[in-house]
Chain A
Amino acid sequence: MQLAEIYNYIRSFSTQHIVPKVCIIGAGPAGFYAAQQLLKTSSNIKVDILEKLPVPYGLVRFGVAPDHPEVKNVIHTFEKTASNPRFQFIGNVNVGKDVTIKELQEIYHAVLLTYGAEEDKLLNIPGENLNNVISGRRFVGWYNGVPADSNLNINLDVEEAVILGQGNVAIDIARILLTPVDKLRNTDITSFALEKLSKSKIRKVSLIGRRGPLQAAFTIAELREILKLDGCKTCWRVDDFTNVNQVVNTLARPRKRLTTLMLKYLEETSSDTEATTKRLYPIFLRSPVEFLGSNTVHSIKLSVNSLEGNDVFTQFAVSTGLFEEIECGLAFRSIGYKSVQIDASIPFDIKIGRVKNIAGKVQDKLYAAGWVATGPVGVILSTMTNAFQIGTLMNKELPITENKPGFVGLSKILAQKGIPIVLYNDWKKIDKLECERGKILGKPREKIVDINEMLEIALK
């Protein structure tokens, strides 16, 4: 053998022994789908997924509504990924605090941020701090068992509620408030939320959006479901639909079907006489100006908007200078989520609340996928598609010129700081107990909401 050949031989031999190690931050759908893609496209890669909480699945556990259990079937795919011996779930690690991105970059070949969008956007209007003005995100967390939201201070002993925002999260909130409570009893809703909802006096919920029906943010499946809700009537404002009839046929299919559905029910609104049912009032072309009340909210002041611009989709709302007041003993802010900068080294756009990235690439060996990268829009399908793409990209670009310690290095850092970790099998103990507790109550699971209790069970 020539010297060069020997050198090449040694080099190829040693690179073969370098196992690429990737660290993913956040165990929601984006993290799991990216892991799945990485494991598939590389035959020897090792993937560690770090999660702040002791429990996995992000918004599939903590966002998706309890009365939509079918959506959670995606978990079966995640369980399959978790059973891959080259994959590891490492829960109870708060990245940015317990370990820095820089440390992770030193011990892994590449780092992927999939830590979602955990805060909600504020309205920044007077009265936002009054009692019973509630963050929609926290309300969702409360009925879904987010540990930090289990102590939410909400009073449902009122008849009228408003929700500011018209996205699918807003519809979820409206539906949970208006659904006959017996329909929630056999879901995985938290027991304390169920208890409170069973005594709720809410009869009327207004769903308020800045723009018109043609720009409505909810999707048709969610709308159709709430239109058909037992014991609840949806009442549209006929005036909101001026001119909508003229445009409807020019729209692309999804928007056209959504608009047609609203128009169909609009006709029924006018012939409505029943007085006994609960009511949903979708209200368009109104922006919140101020929450009114001394300690607790009693009404909301809205500005009356009109639309400007020629293109239906980019039309924007401008105030007409007129106002409307609506009584409400409870108000929810549900105008979207935003991400936080968990580590000072992450390039972050504070204004829009997301990690700076170009098609998933943040910088050398640092990537982002899911809501933290794309912004908090889209369903699991879009998150999945995005995560697959980024997983593929990462695999193409993986630098494997040197060995990295990966999990061994991470364990050292965490052990030094005395941070206990929850592995996938430990989570399975929590999972098992939750299901057992649920069974007694006739529910698929009773979620544990106390992190200390989770750790106690997991680490026993």
Chain B
Amino acid sequence: MALVNHFKKFSRSVLNIASNYSKYTSNTMLPFLQTTRGASTTQQLSEKQEVNVTFVRANGERIKAKGKVGDTILDIVVNNEIDLDGYGACEGTLTCSTCHLIFSKEVYDALPNEPTDEELDMLDLAYELTDTSRLGCQIVMTKKLDGIEVRVPSTINDARA
């Protein structure tokens, strides 16, 4: 399992590098654009990279957060210092299930990657498991997911209230 995780982390970091790299090349390959409309190009590009997630607690409280394409939802929670104590205890290594989130059926079906056996194994230990549950550390944000809403399970939420 450790190996699988290493591989995942590795491939994720490669993906991140790749997306940064392509941003870099597109800017340098178009020098004339850069001089004339450079500012707006970068702006467009960074806008394109940005994604929004709204976390909804069981008590209805909504927390909006921003992240980048390629971030996991766990990254977004951590980078925005969102107040969900205990969330992501194992830091995305698929060994804790504290990053459990519940999606609407629509969003769940649109998620880019299917859960692996290992993710489902950890989910099976989560409280309030639903058919549209996932682990936030395994969901990598894409442009298509911009603006999604995710529900934070209430068991944990109540404990944290």
Residues in chain B near residue A385, CB distance under 8 A: 86, 127, 155-156, 159
Distance in Å: Cβ of A252 to nearest Cβ of chain B: 9
Residues in chain B near residue A379, CB distance under 8 A: 96, 125
Residues in chain A near residue B91, CB distance under 8 A: 70, 73, 76
A388 within 8 A of B: yes
Cα distance, A205 to B94, chains bound together (Å): 27
Q: Which of A1-9, A44-52, A218-226, A320-328 contacts B (4 or more CB under 8 A)?
A: A218-226
Residues in chain B near residue A36, CB distance under 8 A: 85
Residues in chain B near residue A392, CB distance under 8 A: 159, 161
Assign chain B's interface to a size class: 20 to 34
Check B93 against A381 for contact (C-beta < 8 Å).
Answer: no
Check A224 against B86 for contact (C-beta < 8 Å).
Answer: no
In B67-102, the 8 Å CB interface with A consists of 85-86, 89-91, 93-98
Whether A225 touches B1, Cβ cut-off 8 Å, given contacts A74-B90, A381-B89, is: yes
The secondary-structure label for the interface of chain B is loop
Cα distance, A459 to B160, chains bound together (Å): 37
Check B93 against A70 for contact (C-beta < 8 Å).
Answer: yes
Check B85 against A37 for contact (C-beta < 8 Å).
Answer: yes
Q: Which of A37, A69, A76, A257 contacts B124 (CB 8 A)?
A: A257
Residue of A nearest to B2 (CB): A70
B109 within 8 A of A: no
Q: Which of B98, B121, B127 contacts A221 (CB 8 A)?
A: B121
Per-residue interface assignment for chain B, residues 117 to 146, with 1 indicating a CB less than 8 Å from any chain A CB and 0 otherwise: 110111011110100000000000000000
Check B1 against A254 for contact (C-beta < 8 Å).
Answer: no
Distance in Å: Cβ of A215 to nearest Cβ of chain B: 16
Residue of A nearest to B161 (CB): A392
Residues in chain A near residue B2, CB distance under 8 A: 67-70
Cα distance, A254 to B98, chains bound together (Å): 16
A449 within 8 A of B: no
B11 within 8 A of A: no
Whether A381 touches B96, Cβ cut-off 8 Å, given contacts A36-B85, A254-B125, A388-B160, is: yes
B5 within 8 A of A: yes
Cα distance, A77 to B86, chains bound together (Å): 8
Residues in chain B near residue A68, CB distance under 8 A: 2, 95
Identify which of A219, A254, A386, A392 gathers the most chain B CB atoms within 10 Å of its CB.
A254
A97 within 8 A of B: no
A380 within 8 A of B: yes
Cα distance, A74 to B124, chains bound together (Å): 20
Residues in chain B near residue A69, CB distance under 8 A: 2
Whether A224 touches B120, Cβ cut-off 8 Å, given contacts A73-B90, A388-B159, A392-B161, is: no
Q: Which of A221, A254, A380 contacts B89 (CB 8 A)?
A: A380
A457 within 8 A of B: no
Check B85 against A74 for contact (C-beta < 8 Å).
Answer: no
Residues in chain A near residue B93, CB distance under 8 A: 70, 73
Check A388 against B126 for contact (C-beta < 8 Å).
Answer: no
In A39-79, the 8 Å CB interface with B consists of 40, 67-71, 73-74, 76-77
Distance in Å: Cβ of B121 to nearest Cβ of chain A: 4
Cα distance, A118 to B11, chains bound together (Å): 41
Cα distance, A221 to B96, chains bound together (Å): 11
Residues in chain B near residue A40, CB distance under 8 A: 85
Cα distance, A385 to B124, chains bound together (Å): 16
A412 within 8 A of B: no
Residue of B nearest to A252 (CB): B129
In A372-391, the 8 Å CB interface with B consists of 379-381, 384-386, 388-389
Distance in Å: Cβ of A355 to nearest Cβ of chain B: 20
Per-residue interface assignment for chain A, residues 224 to 258, with 1 indicating a CB less than 8 Å from any chain B CB and 0 otherwise: 11000000000000000000000000000110011
Binding site for B on A (CB under 8 A): 33, 36-37, 40, 67-71, 73-74, 76-77, 219-221, 224-225, 253-254, 257-258, 379-381, 384-386, 388-389, 392
**Top 7 A-B pairs, shortest CB-CB distance:** A70-B93, A254-B124, A388-B159, A221-B121, A73-B91, A220-B121, A70-B95
Q: List 20 A-B contacts (CB under 8 A).
A: A37-B85, A67-B2, A69-B2, A70-B2, A70-B95, A74-B90, A220-B121, A224-B118, A224-B121, A225-B1, A258-B124, A379-B125, A380-B96, A381-B96, A381-B97, A381-B126, A384-B98, A388-B86, A388-B159, A392-B161
